[in-house]
Amino acid sequence: MIIKSSTALCNDYSMISDLAHEKAEQREETLKLRAKLEAAEVARLSGAPDYTLEESRKRLEVIYQRD
C-alpha cells in the first residue's frame, strides 16, 4: 500500500489516478485468469478430455496449417 499526504494527493492527482487504473486493470486480468482456471478445473473434474502439450501443439498446427 502506498501512503501519501493529502497535499501530495492533490498535487499528484493524475499520477494517483493512473496508478489506480493500472491496479484495477491488473485486478481485472487476475479475475479473468482465475475464472478461466476455475472453468478448466470444473471441466477436468467432470471428465472432459485432456491433452498433453504435444497434442495441443499438433491441434494448433492443424488449425493454423503450419508444418
Query: Mean pLDDT score of the chain, rounded to an integer?
Result: 89
Q: What is the pLDDT of residues 7-20, one digit of tens each?
A: 777 788 888 889 89
Q: Which residues of the chain have pLDDT under 50?
A: none
- Residue 66's pLDDT is 67
Cα–Cα nearest to 61, from 53, 16, 50: 53
pLDDT at 16: 82
Q: What is the pLDDT of residue 14?
A: 87
Q: What is the Cα 30 distance to its own chain's centre?
A: 4
